[in-house]
Each structure stands twice: as C-alpha cells, then as structure tokens.
Structure 1
Amino acid sequence: MISWNLLKKLQQKVNFTEREVVIADYILNHCEEVLKMTTRQLANETYTSATIIVRFVRKLGYQGFNDFKIHLLTDLKENSYQEIEVEKKESLISIVNKVSSLHEKVLLETKNRLSIDDLEKIQQAIKNVDQINIFALDANASIGEYVYHNIMQAGKLSNVYQ
C-alpha cells in the first residue's frame, strides 16, 4: 500500500515532468470524472498518450490505472469528511457546526447520487411488494426502526431484524 496520501502527491508534484504536472492538475480538477475514465480518455483530455498515463500512475507507485483509481476514490472519501473530526478541547458550538456540516454533506451527496429514474424504480419496487424486511445492526438498527415506522405509515407491512 502507498504510504502517503495520493491527493497530496498530486498537489506537491515532486519530481514531475511537465506532462505529469498537466496530468496531475487535470486529475485534481476533475477527480470525479477521472474515476469513470479509461487511460485513453484521460490521455485525450491531457493531450498525452495512454502509455504516458500508465507510466505516470506506475511512477506514483500503483500497479495500473484501475489500482490508481481505487486509491483516488479512497482518498476522496477520506478527505471529504476529514474536517469534521472532533478534537479533545473543541467547543460545543464548533462540534454542533461540524455535525450540521456533516448532515448537509450527506444529504447533498445522497441527492446528487439519486436520479428521478432511480426514485421511480424504488417507488415502483415498493408498490409491488407486500412486505419490507429491514436487517440492521448497531446504530443502523435505529435508522431501520425509523424507516419501519415510515413504511408502516405508508400502509406497507414491515419488520426490523437485528
């Protein structure tokens, strides 16, 4: 496993050639899109070649482009919630603000990932079943109970199993 954060490596550009700087800048500015790209697509966007992309990710210490994308995704997920960590001597107001920020981020992320088509498919699936069973552990069981009550209010049978 790579020892230090991929995003930091891309930002610091240590020992990068001019082409590699262009590639790193593109990745940093288009992280989400890069996760869905092939080496050829990234090469087209950075005016390089697929071979240069492969050499670049190997220089960073990855087996190949897919390995690189997995680590990029991991880093993006870790960094998106890093500023929400609570420290020992933090004020109550600061903690409340961080929890509120986390709540907003989660809602926005959920909204951005759901499409109208997805919601219509979910709605149709719920209409087509007689009963909905929820399996959950720990804190998710509380969420399951909340969902259970909402499903029951909508007129569907439901159970929560822990």
Structure 2
Amino acid sequence: MQDMIKRSVLLDMIYDAINTAPAALARVALYVAQDPEIVLGLSVAELAHNTDSGSASIVRFCRMLGFSGFREFKIALSGEIERARALDLAQCPNVLTLPPKLAVISTALQNSIAATARTLDIARVQDLAMGIRSARRVDIFGMGPSSVCADIVAMRLLWQGFPVHSPSSASMSHSLARTLDPTSIAIGISSSGVTEETKEFLEIANKAGAQTVAITTRLDCPIAQIADQVILVSSPGSWPEPGSASHVPAVVLLSEYLSRCLQE
C-alpha cells in the first residue's frame, strides 16, 4: 500500500507539472509522462535536447519533484515503472499469453488513453463545447493519420446536429477556411504539431477571424503557437513515428468526452 501511495504521488506531480510548471519544465514533464521508460536511458544533455530545454531546466525539474538531481529521479522513476508493470500483470494475467510485440503495443495504447485522461485540460474542452454550441460552422482538418482523427470528431459532432465540415484535402480545407468568420471554429489536428498543411489551415482561419483550436501531443509546436487554444493528448512513445495512428485512441477519448460535454 505504501508503494502505491508513493507511485501515485510521483506520477501526479509529473502530470500536474505539465499544466502548472514554467514552459521549459512543462515540456520536460510532458516528455517524461508520454514515455517514462525511455527517460531511463537518457543523459541530462540528451533529455534537455529532446525537450528543447537546457541541462539546468532538467535539474530544476528534478528538484521541483523533491529529488537532489537527475540520477536520483531516474532511480525513483525506474522503481515506479517496475511497480506499475507488476501491478498491470497482476490485474491482467492474460497479457502474459500475448505475443511480446503485441503486448507492448496494447499496453502503450492503453497507457496513452490513461495519460490523456489524466492530463486533459477539462476547462478547455468545456470551453470548446460552449463555443461549438453557438458556432455558425465548425471546420476540422488533419493530414494523414490525423485526418482519421478529424473524421472521428466531425462524425461525432454531426450526429449531434452541429454544422461541421471535415474536408479530405488540404486545398479544399484551405478554400473553406477563407469563408470562416468570427462566428466559426477551426480545429486543426496534428500529432507531431508540425504538419505544414494543418498549420496553413489554422493560419488562414485566423486571418478570417475564426476561433482556432489545435489538438496535438506537443505544446512547443507550430500549430500550438498559431491556435487560440491548445488541447493536448498523449501518444505512445517519446515522439510519434511517421504514419503511425497511435494517437487515434487518445483523440477518440477526447471526442467522446467533448460529446458528453455537449450533451450537458
């Protein structure tokens, strides 16, 4: 029981830091939360590079959590990972019968949903729901696997009777974005946050006066810097692999929660 208390306290502190810590420390917290295990193999310099911060920020992050330095933090984090793995196996014994590669993917996707649920900015989702209720039109766009996410969110809203467009091509989305106005909402979805077509979609919508929302896994990305509001979801791994749809389950969670907010 004491180990479980320690585990929940440490993880809660990391998740809380994503939304409450200064920008550099928040990036470190998000990186650790998305894939704690990969952090164990990194040096201070490598973690600083991967999070676009400095070595001093890594040390400050560790001390903010109550550790004297990065080494002590990694020792504690390693213990958390092992305890969590043991707990998962105890609760889900059938996972032992799965092929190892399939078990890894299954666990990663479940963890991304759980991490998204824990770190989701509830107030921002509720604000988005309020905006959708009064919007003249809602345009949603994503490229590649994120286009699947756009279709999922759009279909959920359409079934609830909201005026939603989800163009399948970048040229069409950009053309339609030019017809938006301050009574409209433009939602751009990009797991990496660097998709040029999605960035342009939000830029055009901004110029048209629409409220813009970015759904991504990163705070320090181009679409997050352009949008009026940013909603973060978690993706398995430190950074999503090109072409991977691993962030789709987390967006499904967001879509269903947004739908519930709209029903209230």
Q: What is the CA–CA distance in structure 1 between the aligned matches of 2:9 and 2:40, rounded to whole Å?
A: 17
**Greater C-alpha Rg:** 1
Q: CA deviation at 1:19?
A: 1.6
Secondary structure, in 3 states, of the residue corresponding to 2:56? Answer: helix
Q: Which runs of 4+ in 1 moved over 4 A?
A: 1-4
Match of 2:94 in 1: 100
Q: What is the CA–CA distance in structure 1 between the aligned matches of 2:11 and 2:96, rounded to whole Å?
A: 21
Matched, 1:52 2:57: yes
Q: What is the CA–CA distance in structure 2 between the aligned matches of 1:37 and 1:78, rounded to whole Å?
A: 21
How well do the aligned residues superpose, as a CA RMSD in angstroms?
Answer: 2.9
Q: CA deviation at 1:85?
A: 4.1
Q: What is the CA–CA distance in structure 1 between the aligned matches of 2:35 and 2:59, rounded to whole Å?
A: 18
Unaligned runs of 5+ in 2: 105-264
Contact 1:34 1:42 in 2 (8 A): yes
TM-score by length of 1: 0.51
Secondary structure, in 3 states, of the residue corresponding to 2:78? Answer: helix
Greater relative CO (CA pairs within 8 A, separation 6+): 2
Q: CA deviation at 1:63?
A: 1.5
Q: What is the identity percentage for the equivalent residue pairs of Structure 1 and Structure 2?
A: 26
Q: What is the CA–CA distance in structure 1 between the aligned matches of 2:40 and 2:89, rounded to whole Å?
A: 24
Provide the aligned length of Structure 1 versus Structure 2. Answer: 98
Match of 1:26 in 2: 31
**Given the alignment, which residue of 63, 71, 79 partners 2:68?**
63
Q: What is the CA–CA distance in structure 2 between the aligned matches of 1:48 and 1:11, rounded to whole Å?
A: 18
Contact 2:62 2:73 in 1 (8 A): yes
Unaligned runs of 5+ in 1: 87-97, 113-162
Q: CA deviation at 1:103?
A: 4.7
Q: What is the CA–CA distance in structure 2 between the aligned matches of 1:8 and 1:81, rounded to whole Å?
A: 19
Matched, 1:37 2:42: yes
Match of 1:10 in 2: 14
Q: CA deviation at 1:33?
A: 2.0
TM-score by length of 2: 0.33
